Amino acid sequence: MAKKILEVKNVQKYYKMGETFVHALRGVSLTISEGDFVFIIGPSGSGKSTLLHILGILDHPSEGEVLFEGKKVSELDEEIQTIIRRKKIGFIFQAFNLMRSLTAIENVTIPLVPSNVNEDKANQKAAGLMQMLGLGDRIYHTPNQLSGGEQQRVSIARALINDPKIILADEPTGEVDSKTGNEIFRYLRMMNKKYKKTFVIVTHDTEYIKRGDKIFKIHDGKIVG
């Protein structure tokens, strides 16, 4: 049986947004193991982004427990959480979230800066990843010179640069057409098959799901299937 990376146990999340009280998650439990290709699907406002943020240790549950590689996240201090985010988790965002003033390769190597990785080594690694993602001739372009699909692939390379165990993607095809969306998923699946990377993908598009994928349907803050 594959090793468990993330375990979520009866997680609740509520917060106040202005005057309104939001109960985003109402007792969610799930397990993600090494090599999984996981979809979290549900309509907007169902709590799926909140769940993804909690899985990525960007946010903390109001109640319940999250275990990363068997350790309770709530008992780790802030610095360790930052290092887990840096070394073991990769993020892909809907809006790409690239630094507009930096070139593609600089965007890819940015997560290595706090670890003081040698610049040549970092660039070598980034160039290799970009090659693999079909961005070999886009290395020194800035984001505004790239298409949506290319920008998303740059952000995939950025998510992979630290060799993370798990990559979390928030609506990775939300801002591209379905042809480009298919292309993006082709790359994600390649990384999953070839390098055994674990993926957790939040989306409301069910068209990219394949047999063998793990699916969590979420509705009103609860897993419904």
Partner 1 sequence: MIAVVGVIGLISISDGIKNMVNESLGSLQGVQVLQKDSLSPMLSRVDMDIISEIESFPEVDIVTPRVFGIASSIDGKAFLSGGMSMGGTAEIIGIDAAKEGLSGKTGFDASQITQGRFLKPSDTYSAVLGKKIADDYKKSVGSVVELNDIRFKVIGIWTTGSASTDNMILIPISVARKMFGIESDKASMLTVYTKDPEAVDAISKKIELRIDGVDAKSGSEYAADVSSVFGSLDMFFWAISSIAVLVGGVGILNTMLMSVMERFRDFGILKAIGWGESDIMNLVLSESAILGGAGGLMGIAIGYTLVEIAKPVLGFPMYVSPTLATTAFLLALGLGIIGGFYPAHKASKLDPIEAIRYG
Q: Which residues bind partner 1 (CB under 8 A)?
A: 53, 56, 58-59, 78-79, 82-83, 85-87, 89-91, 93, 95, 97, 99, 110-111, 113-114, 158-159, 162
Taking the complex as a whole, the smallest distance from the CB of residue 126 to partner 1 amounts, in Å, to: 14
Taking the complex as a whole, the smallest distance from the CB of residue 94 to partner 1 amounts, in Å, to: 10
For residues 70, 58, 79, 29, the Cα torsion angle rounded to the nearest 10 degrees is -20
Taking the complex as a whole, the smallest distance from the CB of residue 150 to partner 1 amounts, in Å, to: 18
* Nearer of residues 77 and 120 to partner 1, judged by Cβ: 77
Taking the complex as a whole, the smallest distance from the CB of residue 110 to partner 1 amounts, in Å, to: 7
Angle at CA 200, nearest 5°, toward 209 and 135?
Answer: 85
For residues 149, 150, 151, 156, the Cα torsion angle rounded to the nearest 10 degrees is 90
| C-alpha to C-alpha distance for 31 and 51, rounded to whole angstroms | 13
Q: Residue 21 corresponds to which tokens in the numbers above?
A: 């009280």
* Nearer of residues 80 and 209 to partner 1, judged by Cβ: 80
| C-alpha to C-alpha distance for 63 and 79, rounded to whole angstroms | 22
* Nearer of residues 82 and 206 to partner 1, judged by Cβ: 82
* Nearer of residues 101 and 178 to partner 1, judged by Cβ: 101
C-alpha Rg value of the chain to the nearest Å: 17
